[in-house]
Amino acid sequence: MRTNIRPEHISAFEALTSGEHDNFALFSCFLDGEPAVAIVAVTPPEIEDGEYQITPLFVGVTKDMVLTDHDGTAA
């Protein structure tokens, strides 16, 4: 069976669903220039004047998004 699911996807999904972490947020963004939203992990800075690290985990569905399986059949 073919899959695009990588180990880092599984880790992110498990972290989201475990309830053990509280550093996830919805992030308003753009995908290919179109309005979108992503689920991100937010990591605070390690030093006082540092920047927050925003790591995208999953992108929300957009109105023009079409999901298909590996054979091109719409999901």
* More confident site: 27 or 66: 27
Strand, helix or coil for residue 11: helix
How far apart CA 75 and CA 4 sit, in angstroms, is 15
**How buried is 4 (Cβ within 10 angstroms: 0-12 exposed, 13-18 middle, 19+ buried)?**
exposed
* 4-46 tens-digit pLDDT: 999 999 999 999 999 999 999 999 999 888 889 999 999 999 9
The pTM is what?
Answer: 0.78
pLDDT at 46: 93
How far apart CA 75 and CA 70 sit, in angstroms, is 10
